[in-house]
Amino acid sequence: MDIIAIKEFFGEEPVTESGSSSFNIKADNNKIKIHLEIFPDNQTGNYLISVYTNNCHLQLHDCTRVIQSDMLEELLFISEDDNKLSGLIISKNGDCAMYSDVLKKDINSDLAELSSEKLLAAVALSIADI
pLDDT 10s digits, 75-96: 999 999 999 999 999 998 888 9
pLDDT at 130 over 70: no
Which has the closest alpha carbon to 68: 17, 113, 12, 128?
128
Query: What is the three-class DSSP state of 127?
Result: helix
User: What confidence tier does 127 reach under pLDDT thresholds 50, 70, 90?
Assistant: confident
The pLDDT value given to residue 128:
81
The boundaries of the domain holding residue 109 are 3-128
Which has the closest alpha carbon to 124: 50, 79, 51, 72?
72
pLDDT 10s digits, 10-19: 998 999 998 8
User: How many domains does one find in the chain?
Assistant: 1
pTM over 0.75: yes
